């Protein structure tokens, strides 16, 4: 079963999100679109030029050949075979009934009428074969157009080279146009990327040539104004809560001290007072955790080298003194040297305490703790985590305070703050196993 993970970006202070595939960039799509339009224009132009050239060539040649035919037909007065030959034209008249076996190869075996370009060896001829009315017969014409065809090939090569040059210009213009379009967006992106949560938001400049980008910048600045006001309000609330929440807990603890000092309580009352004190201590610890987590990641944190084995031992002693029968349920095993991590000691203690208390609260059996060089595992024998709790631990976007308890919610927030990874290895009717994985640098320090 795939493990649910919670990952935190310690640089930006946000939950990191990895995408399975990189999306196509706007610059690439713009470049492809502009280049495709230019390429289409070049292809359409080439096809149009070729069609126009072929049409003009055919019109000229057919017209010249028609004039030659008219001239030669006027020379034919009797049904006698005749031939005419110039440098570029060969004409033969055969009256009806005359054997065509004596015709040159380029005329033999062709249908009547016939008109087409024919390649014979290295030469190209425009051949026209049609019947004459008076006297009746067949007039064969062949015009040598080899020179014109060779010039056409040179012209087509020139057009192809010109098309390549135009494509190069189109490619250059596509790159320049794409950069001019995308550059303001990239500049806006850099301004937005410099914004960091938990710090006063720097406003985005709005001096853009394009009205759309200016509107986007103005909209973002209005949003940042609202966020700044919201953050200031939250800071004020945290400061107020820091005083208002601690005071009642301190009053409860002081009243309990007074009751115990009077030494007038019976056995049952002392048990009740002990339960009240444990509840007050847990309330104070939860308040401290929430207040610390409500502050910025770099605000009032004391980063120290924390020995996890020592921190875990102190926590077990506290739990044993509070509830003596829990000592037998907690089983600690070590798979190697315990790591030393750089973190806020208070956050580390809160994290461990909430993990252990959650495990003890949801099972009547043993809780197995395995502390290794790279991880801390806590296994219980309960009925498994509810589906919505597993979903909450695996979600990177759920920031709502749960209504069914703060233990694992605080665990998740502390993991995000420390940049550690929380995994659910197993959670079913046979129990739950949670793995707490430390950052690679902490693991390396543990092995040194």
3 falls in which pLDDT band (50, 70, 90)? very low
Could you give the CA distance from residue 138 to residue 69 in angstroms, rounded to a whole number?
11
* pLDDT reported for residue 296: 59
Residues 277-305: what's their mean pLDDT?
71
76 falls in which pLDDT band (50, 70, 90)? confident
* pLDDT reported for residue 20: 40
Question: Structural domain tally of the chain?
Answer: 1
Judge whether 335 lies within some domain. yes
Could you read off the pLDDT of 7-18 as tens digits, one per residue? 334 333 333 333
* pLDDT reported for residue 394: 65
Percent of the residues in the chain that have a pLDDT greater than 70, as a whole number: 81
* pLDDT reported for residue 331: 80
Cα distances (angstroms) measured from residue 85 to each of 88, 247, 309: 8, 123, 113
DSSP state string for 228-295: HHHHHHHHHHHHHHHHHTHHHHHHHHHHHHHHHHHT---HHHHHHHHHHHHHHHHHHHHHHHHHHHHS
Query: What's the CATH number where 432 sits?
Result: 3.30.565.10
* pLDDT reported for residue 50: 84
* pLDDT tops 70 at residue 228: yes
* pLDDT reported for residue 34: 87
* pLDDT reported for residue 301: 61
* pLDDT tops 70 at residue 414: yes
- Check: pTM over 0.85? Answer yes or no: no
Judge whether 100 lies within some domain. no
> What mean pLDDT value characterizes the chain?
78
The answer to whether 25 touches 165, Cβ cutoff 8 Å, is: no
* pLDDT reported for residue 396: 60
* pLDDT reported for residue 406: 61
Judge whether 409 lies within some domain. yes
Residues 78-83: what's their mean pLDDT?
88
Judge whether 427 lies within some domain. yes
* pLDDT reported for residue 179: 85
* pLDDT reported for residue 21: 43
* pLDDT reported for residue 11: 33
* pLDDT reported for residue 321: 67
The answer to whether 171 touches 35, Cβ cutoff 8 Å, is: yes
Judge whether 59 lies within some domain. no
3-state secondary structure of 91: strand
Structure tokens at 271: 């048990």
When comparing pLDDT for 281 and 243, which is higher?
A: 281
* pLDDT reported for residue 402: 54
Judge whether 331 lies within some domain. yes
Judge whether 406 lies within some domain. yes
Could you read off the pLDDT of 297-321 as tens digits, one per residue? 555 566 788 888 888 888 887 777 6
233 falls in which pLDDT band (50, 70, 90)? confident
- Least-confidence region, from 97-101, 109-113, 389-393, 409-413: 389-393
Could you give the CA distance from residue 348 to residue 350 in angstroms, rounded to a whole number?
5
* pLDDT tops 50 at residue 448: no
Could you give the CA distance from residue 85 to residue 75 in angstroms, rounded to a whole number?
14
How many residues make up the chain in this entry? 448
Could you give the CA distance from residue 349 to residue 295 in angstroms, rounded to a whole number?
18
When comparing pLDDT for 335 and 441, which is higher?
A: 335
* pLDDT reported for residue 213: 77
- Least-confidence region, from 44-48, 248-252, 291-295: 291-295
Q: Provide the residue range defining the domain that includes 338.
A: 299-447
446 falls in which pLDDT band (50, 70, 90)? very low
Judge whether 256 lies within some domain. no
Could you read off the pLDDT of 339-352 as tens digits, one per residue? 788 888 878 888 88
């Amino acid at each position: 079963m795939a493990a649910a993970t919670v990952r935190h970006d310690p640089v930006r202070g946000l939950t990191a999100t990895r995408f399975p595939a990189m999306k196509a960039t706007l610059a690439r799509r713009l470049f492809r679109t502009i280049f495709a339009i230019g390429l289409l224009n070049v292809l359409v132009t080439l096809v149009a030029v070729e069609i126009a050239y072929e049409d003009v060539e055919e019109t000229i040649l057919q017209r010249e050949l028609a004039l030659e035919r008219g001239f030669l037909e006027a020379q034919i007065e009797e049904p006698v075979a005749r031939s005419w030959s110039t440098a570029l034209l060969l004409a033969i008249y055969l009256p009806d009934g005359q054997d065509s076996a004596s015709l040159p190869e380029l005329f033999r075996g062709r249908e009547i009428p016939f008109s087409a370009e024919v390649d014979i060896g290295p030469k190209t001829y425009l051949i026209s074969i049609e019947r004459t009315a008076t006297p009746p017969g067949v007039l064969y014409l062949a015009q040598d157009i080899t020179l014109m065809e060779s010039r056409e090939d040179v012209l087509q090569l020139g057009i192809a080279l010109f098309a390549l040059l135009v494509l190069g210009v189109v490619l250059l213009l596509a790159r320049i146009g794409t950069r001019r379009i995308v550059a303001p967006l990239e500049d806006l992106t850099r301004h937005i990327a410099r914004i960091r949560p938990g710090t006063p938001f720097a406003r985005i400049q709005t001096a853009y040539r394009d009205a759309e980008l200016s509107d986007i910048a103005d909209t973002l600045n209005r949003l940042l104004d609202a966020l700044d006001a919201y953050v200031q309000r939250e800071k004020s609330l945290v400061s107020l809560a820091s005083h208002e929440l601690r005071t009642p807990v301190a009053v409860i603890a002081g009243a309990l001290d007074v009751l115990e000092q009077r030494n007038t309580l019976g056995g049952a009352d002392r048990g009740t007072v002990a339960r009240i004190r444990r509840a007050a201590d847990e309330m104070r610890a939860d308040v401290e955790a929430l207040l610390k987590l409500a502050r910025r990641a770099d605000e009032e944190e004391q980063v120290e080298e924390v020995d996890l084995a020592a921190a875990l031992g102190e926590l077990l002693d506290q739990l044993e003194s509070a509830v003596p029968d829990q000592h037998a349920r907690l089983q600690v095993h070590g798979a190697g040297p315990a790591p030393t991590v750089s973190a806020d000691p208070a956050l580390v203690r809160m994290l461990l305490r909430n993990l252990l208390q959650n495990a003890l609260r949801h099972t009547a059996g043993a809780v197995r703790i395995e502390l290794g060089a790279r991880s801390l595992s806590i296994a219980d024998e309960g009925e498994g985590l509810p589906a919505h709790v597993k979903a909450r631990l695996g979600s990177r976007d759920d920031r709502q305070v749960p209504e069914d308890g703060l233990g694992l919610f605080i665990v998740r927030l502390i993991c995000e703050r420390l940049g550690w990874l929380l995994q659910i290895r197993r959670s079913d009717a046979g129990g739950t196993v949670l793995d707490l994985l430390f950052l690679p640098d902490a693991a390396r320090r543990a092995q040194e």
